[in-house]
Chain A
Amino acid sequence: MSNESNRRDFLKQSGLLTGGALLTTLPSFASSYGFHSSADDTIKVALIGCGGRGKGAALQALKSRQNVKIVAIADAFRDRLDDAYKTLNQNPELAKRVDVPEERKFVGFDAYQKAIPLADVVILATPPGFRPMMFEEAVKQNKHVFMEKPVATDAPGVRRVLAAAEEAKKKKLNVVVGLQRHYQPNYREMIKRIHDGALGDIIGGSVYWVSGGVWVKPRQANQTEMEHQMRNWYYFNWLCGDHINEQHIHNIDVANWVKRGYPVSAQGTGGRQVRTGKEYGEIFDHHIVDYVYEDGTLINSQCRHYEGTFSKVDEQFVGTKGRVDSFGRQSILKDHKGGSIYTHNGKGDGDPYQIEHDELFAAIAKNEYKFWDAENGAKSTMTAIMGRMATYSGKVVKWDEALNSNIDLFPAKLAWDAMPKVLPNADGFYPVAVPGKTVTV
């Protein structure tokens, strides 16, 4: 009970308790999820962005063993929203905690503004281009946040997230970013040992996301250009930031985590070798980047979307005393003669996607301020964007100039009949970066 009153104090302090809205009583029920089910401790959640990942995050929030309730959902598209509502209601037990009548379903570009005020915690899972403005709004309204990676697609967006991250810190708002390796037991254990010196100083490494590609949603008749790009967001930089940002950020972020810092410069190469059709928008299908850290350490990053080729999603690092063999299923630290320093077999480890929600909601329920992921999320996002700047331009890009870049990819106006900044030519092909010519900073 003391937890409960503490929590209310905490909510008051952080300006979250408005009227009697939080004091909704949920009936207690037997539950295989073992929810806390006392009255008055409901944590209200708004889901913003109803794709597969948004639905997944909402269900993970519901399974977090706290008294979580989904009270609002928002998406740009009505069909996506309806699909999410259906999915959230599929498990009868979890569905009891989905309380989203028609008047709390919000559709359109401004849907987030209507959903955020209704919640204590906001899940931001739209395409990443929208993250800065939505995170800003959530912090402004004193909400705790779970947001998916990456948290921006260009430098102005990163700067907005960094500024809002500062605000969130001042307000003691918990922010978890879906760089879930930070919540994955083998990464936590391995990197703790690396930081404790098990491998000596880390002086080099490689990080990989070389794999097949993702979904494509070819253009439909009667779609406006804005709708086409929104439906097919993976292939447009203002929405996705290219796959170096959208996927490979995970591995780049691990490099930053291991190095406890961010690179000072990047140079690299990339292009469209396999995925050349107009349906693939403007993004590259491969990037190889050298990231140089302050102490001179060079970490090579590779990402690629080629079907039918060697695949690897992993990270390797070399230290003065040993190396990381793999973070994969069996995580292994070895000395330079091949002897084992530490092995972590992931069998029995929890699901990192669930753990990130369990820990976030447990902290909120206990009035604890424990998570300030936004700053690292923004800087790791910036690292990936800096890689893209390097491969698109073919130049050496320095951290400071990258972060201060004023190239803003976001459309001047958000509306279904408004035009994004990148448009197809008469044949339907989008302009693609040309190293040596394209300016990115």
Chain B
Amino acid sequence: MKLLVIEDEPGLSQTITQFLQSQGHICETATTYQQAQEKIGVYAYDCVLIDLMLPGGNGLDILSQLKQEHQETGAIIISAKDSLGDKLAGLDLGADDYLPKPFHLAELNSRIKSILRRTKFEGSASLEVGRLRINTEARTVFVDNQPVSLNRKEYDLLLLFATNKNRVIKKSALAEHVWGDNADQSDSYDFIYSQIKNLRKRFSQVGYELDIQTVYGIGYKFLAD
């Protein structure tokens, strides 16, 4: 997929780009308002990441230009401001998602994939990982066409693992993905383990071994083909 990262911080732009390329995407960058305008005017992208505060202008204007010229392109606002006003304005202008900085790359990955699924397959696509099939629209999970019943948290957890298969996901990224973006959150990391145990149990009930490995003390990795 072809992505554009509009971000004026070179360090952040670089890590995001590297990460997206490692995920097999073609990734371009724009660091100023004008650059972004030009690139959007000339090329078509599958998904665009837009930082709101740009030298030369506001990312929201880029967003409205993008949505006028390429209705089908997905857009994620990445903002340091984390303000409700910006979020609402962005979503009103047609942004598909809003991700406040600092975010986890695993989370970004999950959100981009979700948007691509929606825009490329008109929402009907399901996510297939090995013997697993996840219908993201209906939030249902199947192993070899056999339904697995998961509660909301277990489903969220599985989705993050599935969209980041074979990658180490930090405990904090899992915690934030499932329990939301909380401040004083160091207390919830210990509970990831029991949630993963529960998740494994759900699958072992239908005779499927969910291969989630602990990686040192840092996080977990979902191994799948």
Judge: A and B partners, yes or no. no
Measured CB to CB, the residues of B under 8 A from A are: none
